[in-house]
Structures are given as C-alpha cells and as structure tokens.
A and B are shown apart, each in its own frame.
Chain A
C-alpha cells in the first residue's frame, strides 16, 4: 500500500483549453465493467460485463462495445492474457454478438470489413520449441511451449485467414527474454489492422513489434528485440507513418532502473524519434511505471493519451510533454479512500479517447 500515492482518485487535472475534447473509454481489470467518462471525469456510460474483462475494450463506429472476457475455466487460464470470450455489446449492454474459444487471449480487433481479428494460443511443436533459446529449462507448461495463432473470423465465426507465429518466425531472429518462463514463446499481446490491410502485432516475450503481410504472411518489418523494447504493449500506426508504442520496461536489459516509456519509432530509420519517459522531460522516471497492461494513443490534436495500467492512471500530454489531463480509476474500490486499509491502486487494461465527432458516440447524451 502507499496511502499518499493511491488516495487520489477520479479527476485530478483538466486543462480544457489544451486537452483533446471527447470521451474516454477505459477497461478496469477488476469489477466486470467498462467505463466511458467525459473530460471532467463524469461517467457517461458504463457497460456491465457478464465475466471478468480480459483486455482493453474498444468502442466500434456503430456505437457497440467490443471486448474480450474470461470465463475463468479456460484450460490455459494461467497464461497471462487468456480470455476465451469475445463479446459485442450494445450501448445498453445488450449482447449483439459473441464468439467463444477457450484458447483466445488478449484483445479482439474489429476489421474494416466487419470481421474480427483474434489471437489464440497454439502449441509450438517440440522440434521448434527445442530451438528457442531463453528461459530456464523446465519452465514450460507441462512440458509444452505455447505460441501464437492469429485468426480473422467472420460474423459466423468462420476462419477466413490465419497466421501461425512459429511457422513464420525463426527463433534466432526474435530473441526471447532470458528471464521469462518457457510456458509461452512469443506471447502476443495485441494486434491491429493497418490502412493497407496488413497486420501489426506486439509480441511481449520477444520484445518485438512486427508487421505481417496479410497476403503472403511474411513478416515485413520487426523491431525491438535487441534491447530497444521491454515487454511492450499496444503499438499503433500514426498518420506520419511512425509507430507509437507503450514500452512497459519489464525485464529491461542491463541495470534495471525499471521505468516505462511511450516511444514513437521511425519505421524506415528504425530509430526512436520521440519519447515520454516520465515527468519533467524524463527526469522523474520513478513517477511513470506499469510493468503490465497499458496503452497509448496519439490524438488528432497531437496530444498523447497514456494509460499507466497497473496503477489505473490515465493521462494526456502535449507533444512538449506538458500534462493537460489526468484521471485515476477508483473502480471497483471506494471513490475516496479515507484509510490506508482500503487505499490501493485499481488497475486498468487500457484506455481510448474518442472525439465528439466519432460515429460510435452519435446520439449519446453527454
């Protein structure tokens, strides 16, 4: 517990002249709900989930919510990120569409064609697993190493495209974290569709962000496994062609002054062109850290929304890194902690800001 640092909840700071106006959707890890709040931290909508959330929910252009949930009885429930249920919920919480598969993990992504991209655990064949270096021998899950399978499914849950990581990745190209258990190899933790239809994916345990050619399945670009990233999350392609990544800083190489960063990477030059490493231009690194979860989003006005997931803290900074908005999740705890025994962080998987002109918000009373 940290009484001082976990006491302040709800809206902390709002500079409405510079913040990007819109609503913030965020997914608490605990409490089975997804929240939509305005700039003043007031709740505009709240979806109740039938199960525990498994990943960051998204608001679709049709106003529905797409979220990953976990039934709790998935055979691989112990692997981080597992959630065997994908649901699309209407604004009032009505179930519109559902897809169940006990091997699903991390967030589903709705494609422009209406299909859904999902990630699944798949067994890595022994002959490949034995070539994968890194991790203490014997830390496989019952002798098995699990890899990633990405599927595109249509509304009737038919698989129309799939991609198997261990068929495309050479173990020596994606260096695996030497400290993580060998229960999973690449441990994908999110995938999105790029404007040209290709797929961008983040692999936590190889510290890699990769772009997959949708047609050929080839990996067109990958970056991060040479010490640049440490168990990152949520890469997104920016309009300028760069990639924005939440670099958690878990198991970093070298002296472990663990801290998180938001990094913007030039894809062609393969170098970092902008980064946020904590307050005061990175001087106070100790005030920004989330070992797991988290995401970041570049907003239309150039600001960046950051979700420091482990602490449930969501904030917005300008390109010059000035704080313009800060909000701390209290759900499902008390709104104001008056004693240290109830003062703790309530984590959040991730957050997105939607401008008031986003089609998915039309007709919503704000």
Chain B
C-alpha cells in the first residue's frame, strides 16, 4: 500500500463496487441510500464534516456531500482525526492491530503513532505513542494528550483482586490491564502522565457485570476542560470522571447509573457535559437504543437528551460521538452503521449523511467510522484553504452527491 502519494484509482473503484446496490446482496433496505440523504439548509448549521473509515483515507465533505478535501495517510486510523486551527490534520495512526500485538479484542482501536499532516497530506510531525488507543486530544499549547494500554498501567495483584464487576475469571492472562494517560510535547517527549489504577476506586468505579476483566476502566475519550482539568470517559465503569491536572486526583464523577458504555464526554460552552450514551449493556430488558445526554455537572441531572422518535432507529454499540454547534444543533456520529446526522435542539433531523466507504477493522469489513467532526466555514484552520470540490473530480464522480440514487426502486425478477 502506498503511503502518501497519488490516488489509487483501482482501489477506489473496487471499494465502490462493494458499496453499490447489487453487489451487497443483503439488507438492501438499510444500505441502498447513501451520501447526503437529507438537508434542511435553513435549519442546519452549515460547514464541513471530517471523518474517516478504517482505511488510509480521510475525507472532508461540504453540506451537500461534495468531497472538498481528501487526505491520504501513511497509517490507517486507530480512531479519528482533528482538524487543527493551523489547518493541519492530527491523525491517530495504527501501527499494528490488537490482534497482531497479541492483545484481546477489548484492546481495539489501538494506535501506536500520532501523525500531523498539512492540507495536502504532507507529513509535518510524527510521534510514536506505544499502546495508544481511542481518543487523542490536541491541547492549546501544541501538545497532544492520548491514552494507552501501556503495560505500566497493569493493576497490581492486590488491586486486581479488589476490583469489582466484570465476568469472573475473564482477566487477560490472569491480569487486569489498566489505562494510562500521557501528554506529549512537540519533541515527542512525555511531559505529564496519569495512571488510572493509582486513582480509581475498585468499588466506586466498578466495571460492568457483563464485560471481561481484561481492561479497566477502559478510557475512550479525553477532553481538556476550560479549568485545565481532564474529562475522561470510562467505558467499562459506565461513567465520566474529571481529573485534577495538577494532582491527578479524581475530582468529580458523572453519569453513574445513567450512561452505559458511553463515548465522547465533552464540556460544552455552557459548562454542561455532553456524552454519547451508547446504551449497550444497559441494565434493563427492552428495545435497545443510544442517546446523547447533556448533564449538569453540579447536580448530575440530565438537562437535555436526544434519542430517535422510535429509539431503536438510533443505536450504535461502538464508538460514536456528538458535537454541539453554536446555533444549538448537535452533530452526531452514528459510528456503527457509518451515519452522521445533525439535529436541532428540539431533536428535528436537519442533515443526514450515509458514508459510502468501506474499511477494515476488528476483522470485519465495515461501514464503521470512529467519530466525525463538523467545522464551520469561519474555523481558523479552513481560512485560505481551497475547498473547491473540482479539485477531486474522480472522488466526487465515485462518491459525490451525483453518484448516488435519490430514489429507491425495488428489484424484482
């Protein structure tokens, strides 16, 4: 596979073959319509959407679904990318999969290398980040915060014995791996480090009863709050925590008993915390669904929620995230099925995009994407950038709005 460089036309076409109706012979009802399937220009917040599926391509599309930038990355993504205010792209690259590293499936979304490229995919910065996985968080000072399955975070035996929850006996080779959080400077030096097992409470931060005890607490998102402290989503412990940047202490816990295997905890401009509550292993028996919740950090009460009118219509057991836009809308990445959509504060759908791309992850051919980001036209990183879709005639012919059927006609023969 070429790293940076020319487009691999044949590969793009092959992928297209996979995604066109007729080639995928199952679930036509769920896969026939692709691209931008709905757009209310008046109510949507506008801007550009950044996403990648599990291959070497990163895409920026406009609201109509035209491809306005296409990055070719030297590494396939472990998780996702951020467009930086400088206009560069920060990418969590994957060196080896968890399988190749001999790690269990829980330790997926593994990375190993952080990469920054410019608008034209030229490498600007690269740093090794062993065992890094899931989220990366660019910091105002140019540093990058990431978290890892570094073996240094493995729980000491006495703590592993005290740790509650999880399926008994399901440890990984007898051990419970713990997460670590690291801050890298521009020279690739670690300047700050946090070890989950030194701060978590084995009872208070109990793991889900149906998860394996391979990994705890399974961090899957990082966010630097305005007060400089770090908000983390703990997937196995079904909660988000705020860690004091100076002392490393856990100063708050959010969402316990309300969110299940959640992702993407962030602080909003109003000070509330927004979390994508995936909802798998929710302790109830009924139709499963995902939702986005906004929590008041003082009371831990849910003050806003989005779920589909018929809740099972939005369900993503993995990854996913949500971003609040300045106009109050929320852009949601329905990762599992490769769908990005925008809803108003009242929950009305105003934009929807179905990714036509196929990637490879966790041993599956997948429409999955890790997380998507929306950038408004006034975002500093987009200033002076060429966003003319005509730069990408081939990509737009294959995956642009004109390449998809608008209406569906059943096949009968």
Binding site for B on A (CB under 8 A): 1-8, 10-17, 40-41, 80, 135-136, 139, 177-181, 184, 187, 204-205, 231, 250-259, 278-280, 282-289, 291-292, 310-311, 313, 315, 317, 321-323, 326, 328, 340-341, 344-345, 347
Contact = CB atoms under 8 A, between A and B. Distances in A.
A187 B364 contact: no
B33 A7 contact: yes
A282 B288 CA distance: 21
B334 interface: yes
B399 interface: no
Contacts of A6: 313
21 contacts: A1-B313, A2-B352, A4-B37, A6-B313, A11-B410, A12-B28, A13-B410, A13-B412, A15-B413, A136-B283, A250-B285, A255-B212, A257-B318, A283-B365, A286-B336, A287-B30, A288-B27, A289-B315, A313-B29, A340-B38, A341-B349
B305 interface: no
Nearest to A327: B29
Contacts of B288: 250, 258, 291-292
B261 A187 contact: no
Instruction: Tell which of A6, A8, A311, A315 has the most Cβ of chain B within 10 Å.
Output: A8
B308 A16 contact: no
A327 to B, nearest CB: 9
A5 B106 contact: no
B410 A254 contact: no
A204 B308 contact: no
Contacts of A322: 25-26
Contacts of B341: 2
List of 3 A-B pairs having minimum Cβ-Cβ separation, nearest first: A279-B26, A291-B288, A283-B365
B283 A180 contact: yes
Nearest to B284: A181
A104 B40 CA distance: 47
User: Chain B contact residues: over half helix, strand or loop, or mixed?
Assistant: loop
Contacts of B108: 255
A345 B315 CA distance: 13
A75 B339 CA distance: 41
B168 to A, nearest CB: 10
Contacts of B24: 279-280, 284
Contacts of A313: 27, 29-30
Given A255-B211, A291-B312, A345-B312, A328 B283 contact: no
Interface string B400-413: 00000000101111
A40 B412 contact: yes
B365 A254 contact: no
Contacts of B282: 179
A13 B28 contact: yes
Given A13-B28, A311-B312, A4 B364 contact: no
A292 B282 CA distance: 14
Interface string B375-413: 000000000000000000000000000000000101111
Contacts of B412: 11, 13-14, 16, 40
B281 interface: yes
A178 B209 contact: yes
A178 B410 contact: no
A313 B30 CA distance: 10
Contact of A12 (B29, B285, B352): B29
A11 to B, nearest CB: 5
B236 to A, nearest CB: 10
A287 B316 CA distance: 11
Instruction: Tell which of A1, A14, A15, A251 has the most Cβ of chain B within 10 Å.
Output: A1
B308 A253 contact: no
Contacts of A12: 28-29, 32, 408, 410-411
Nearest to A230: B210
B283 A292 contact: no
